[in-house]
């Protein structure tokens, strides 16, 4: 009997992957580094052991293919990313790759071939840690890679194009990584929740409804610097005080409705002296929601509120949008099959959106997508304290395995 889905075995593999790091004191595995190559080699060996044909594509994604009842059939695409943030946890991204391989190993152990192929991809770069651009592996596969990113340099001054060449890849041939929509039936990603909802409700797994869209802004408030001892309070044009009021408005707007989050993650003040009234304050906003119209309405409310604060306080406000990504809904026909698998494995059903971005946002350009969430301790992610249990890892893998076995492709027009 197959034990490929055993939770302890999954955790062992995740520990092996986490040992591949650029630093001995923290998990760091960035795109196009020797550690990236080592992770690809390890994952590729697991794919081969599961009966898959393995290759590395033109962007550095590692891809395994398990043929169906006849060779060359369209594939159900599974996977996640193998790169990490700096000082990362060991489950973000990696759990999805390891679990998908385990599901194929389970099929191979049972000598089962399905009426479709399965492809598993370990995406080369989702986090954007090295070159400041996210979803590079999945965008290349989807055919939406922006070649201007090749000119971006990392902290050491190495451009992405140079890093690719050192890795053994040809920057001029990056389009060879792109795949046609008819190659895939759907894309499904298993991932830790990266939030506290499942844990708070005592649930091991959940079905994702959508990947939230995000708007990011850089806001500058300009007042007038002055002597802290001589400028009367009533005559001040204090940029920091105005910014503080704006920051609280961001928090209040984010709390005003469900499935909307609003964050000020950074604030800077000039001139930044203890005895000077601040003349300028700069801060960022990250606004997310699975509903695009809700996010856009909140953004409009914030900008109107900032203008009112600025007029009342005698300062000026300038807001520049630095990022705008639409939400990506999970395909209902796929989500329904994931819900069936969750209930089939004996779990209570919980549907929830993802506030974090995932490779599915890029893959949605060529295939319908869906996601399975697995509970994580405290909702902590992008942190070495990130944790899951062997039991939850196995629960997620078994839900994914049931989904695969029962998967019914959507009829093509």
pTM across the whole model: 0.91
d(CA 194, CA 378): 9
Nearest Cα residue to 91 out of 369, 392, 399 = 392
d(CA 68, CA 112): 9
* CATH of region 7-211+327-406, choose from 3.40.630.10, 3.40.50.300, 3.40.50.1820, 3.40.50.2300: 3.40.630.10
At residue 1, the pLDDT reads 57
218-325 shares the fold of 7-211+327-406? no
Displacement of CA 81 from its chain's centroid (Å): 9
Token pair 């994604």: residue? 61
Tell me the chain's radius of gyration from C-alpha atoms.
24
**Could you list the pLDDT tens digit for every one of the 413 residues in the chain?**
579 999 999 999 999 999 999 999 999 999 999 999 999 999 999 999 999 999 999 999 999 999 999 999 999 999 999 999 999 999 999 999 999 999 999 999 999 999 999 999 999 999 999 999 999 999 999 999 999 999 999 999 999 999 999 999 999 999 999 999 999 999 999 999 999 999 999 999 999 999 999 999 999 999 999 999 999 999 999 999 999 999 999 999 999 998 899 999 999 999 999 999 999 999 999 999 999 999 999 999 999 999 999 999 999 999 999 989 899 999 999 999 999 999 999 999 999 999 999 999 999 999 999 999 999 999 999 999 999 999 999 999 999 999 999 999 987 65
Calculated CA dihedral for residues 262, 80, 100, 28, nearest 10 degrees? -100
Token pair 């959940």: residue? 206
Sketch the domain layout of the chain as residue ranges. Answer: 7-211+327-406, 218-325
At residue 2, the pLDDT reads 75
d(CA 124, CA 57): 10
At residue 411, the pLDDT reads 72
The full 3-state SS of 18-70, as one line of letters, equals HCCCCCCCCCCCCCCCHHHHHHHHHHHHHHHHCCCEEEECCCCCEEEEECCCC
Query: Which H or E run contains 333?
Result: helix 332-344
* CATH of region 218-325, choose from 3.30.1540.10, 3.40.50.300, 3.30.70.360, 3.30.70.590: 3.30.70.360
d(CA 214, CA 99): 28
d(CA 152, CA 162): 10
């Amino acid at each position: 009997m197959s034990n490929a889905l055993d939770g302890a075995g999954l955790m062992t593999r995740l520990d092996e992957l986490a040992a591949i790091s650029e630093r001995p004191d923290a998990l760091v595995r960035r795109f196009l580094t020797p550690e990236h190559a080592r992770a690809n080699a390890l994952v590729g060996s697991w794919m081969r052991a599961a009966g898959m044909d393995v290759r590395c594509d033109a962007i550095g994604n590692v891809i395994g293919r398990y043929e169906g009842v006849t060779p060359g059939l369209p594939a159900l695409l599974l996977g996640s990313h193998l790169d990490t943030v700096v000082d990362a946890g060991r489950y973000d991204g990696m759990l999805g790759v390891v679990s998908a391989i385990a599901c194929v190993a389970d099929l191979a152990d049972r000598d089962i071939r399905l009426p479709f192929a399965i492809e598993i991809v370990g995406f080369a770069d989702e986090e954007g840690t090295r070159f400041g651009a996210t979803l590079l592996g999945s965008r290349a596969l989807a055919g939406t890679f922006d070649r201007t990113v090749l000119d971006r340099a990392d902290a050491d001054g190495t451009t992405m194009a140079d890093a690719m060449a050192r890795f053994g890849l040809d920057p001029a041939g990056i389009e060879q990584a792109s795949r046609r929509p008819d190659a895939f039936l759907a894309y499904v990603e298993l991932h830790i929740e990266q939030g506290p909802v499942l844990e708070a409700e005592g649930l091991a797994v959940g079905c994702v409804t959508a990947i939230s869209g995000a708007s990011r802004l850089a806001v500058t408030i300009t007042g007038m610097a002055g002597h802290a001892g001589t400028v009367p309070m009533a005559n001040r044009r204090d940029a920091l005080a105005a910014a503080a009021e704006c920051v609280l408005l961001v928090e209040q707007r984010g709390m005003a409705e469900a499935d909307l989050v609003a964050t000020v993650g950074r604030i800077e003040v000039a001139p930044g002296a203890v005895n000077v009234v601040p003349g300028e304050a700069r801060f960022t906003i990250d606004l997310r929601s699975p509903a695009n119209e809700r996010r856009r309405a909140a953004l409009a409310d914030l900008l109107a509120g900032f203008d009112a604060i600025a007029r009342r306080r005698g300062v000026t406000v300038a807001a520049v949008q630095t990022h705008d990504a639409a939400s990506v809904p999970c395909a209902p026909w796929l989500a329904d099959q994931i819900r069936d698998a969750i209930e089939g494995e004996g779990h209570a059903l919980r549907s929830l959106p993802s506030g974090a971005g995932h490779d599915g946002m890029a893959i949605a350009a060529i295939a319908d997508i869906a996601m399975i969430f697995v509970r994580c301790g405290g909702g902590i992610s992008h942190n070495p304290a990130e944790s899951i249990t062997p039991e939850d890892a196995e629960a997620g893998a078994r839900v994914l395995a049931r989904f695969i076995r029962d998967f019914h492709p959507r009829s093509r027009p």
